[in-house]
Amino acid sequence: MTSISDRIIKRMKELGLRQTAIVEATGATKGAVSKWVAGTNTPKAEFLPALATVLKTSQNWLLTGEEEVKFNNFNMQDFMNKHNLSGKGDASFNVNELHKPTVIDYETENGFIWIDVVEANFSCGVGESIEFHFDVINGKFPFPPSFFQRKHVDPSCMRIIKAKGDSMSDFIHDGDMVGIDISQTEIVDGEIYAVYFEGEGMIKQIFKEEGGKLTLHSLNSKYRDREVSEQNGLNFKVMGRQFWRAG
């Protein structure tokens, strides 16, 4: 079985790259890159996106030796049907780039904890029966265990969704990966949450108002605030608090 070091060396030879090119592309030190190549150390998660880019491959291949495989459009259409969406532009989360999930024992594979990149699917019944689940997996993203210690988040409660649109720019951009903690559904004034509201999944900053009302605020001023009240509150549910993003 090949190692990350073997795969880095393979791509360097194929592309005619020197270690200095990797240093410049990733921002890692010369010593760190030398250890990656020698196999005495593995790249930290923060260096993986740039490393994959300079080696013209995927993070998944670097870490596992396997390429991601896209599903066909039937999966995407199924997701849109569950949302009652008429087109791609209606979705708050990106419904493209559906990938076969990488199945890895995160406790032992290179010391990383792997978190699902998912699509949020919703089902609504009578009354307050709004349920969501994450049965469409786009792939997995690796994090060092120290990340969860710093964030005070249980890895089993983290999901990653892809943002779509510019309503939360300049903080969250179209296509950014957004980490949410699904255990944190109690609203803290001014925090950002992934929510379901009136048939749509969205990421918004939430403010508590008098009389129990909530304001769903977009950071981009061209989008109007939306109000959750007693009258429409049955169509509102919090999926989790946003605590991490990557663009």
Q: What local confidence, expressed as pLDDT, does residue 23 receive?
A: 92
> What is residue 84's predicted lDDT score, i.e. its pLDDT?
53
Same structural domain, 49 and 106 = no
What domain range includes position 77? 73-246
Distances in whole angstroms, Cα of residue 202 to Cα of each of 91, 153, 167: 8, 22, 9
**24 and 89 assigned to the same domain:** no
Decide: 139 and 191 in contact? Cβ < 8 Å. Answer: no
Q: What is the CATH number of the domain that holds 44?
A: 1.10.260.40
pLDDT of residue 104: 38
User: Residue type for 5, please?
Assistant: S
User: What's residue 210's pLDDT?
Assistant: 87
- Domain total for the chain? 2
**Residue segments in the chain with a per-residue pLDDT below the cut of 50:** 69-76, 79, 83, 85-109, 124-128
End position of a domain, from candidates 40, 64, 88: 64
Residues 99 and 59 in one domain: no
The reply to whether omega before 189 is within 30° of 0 (cis) is no
The answer to whether residues 59 and 141 belong to one domain is: no
Q: What is the per-residue pLDDT for 59? A: 81
Same domain, 102 and 44: no
Q: How far apart are CA 17 and CA 5, in angstroms?
A: 14
**Whether 132 and 217 share a structural domain:** yes
Sign of CA dihedral 135, 140, 143, 145: positive
Model pLDDT, residue 108? 34
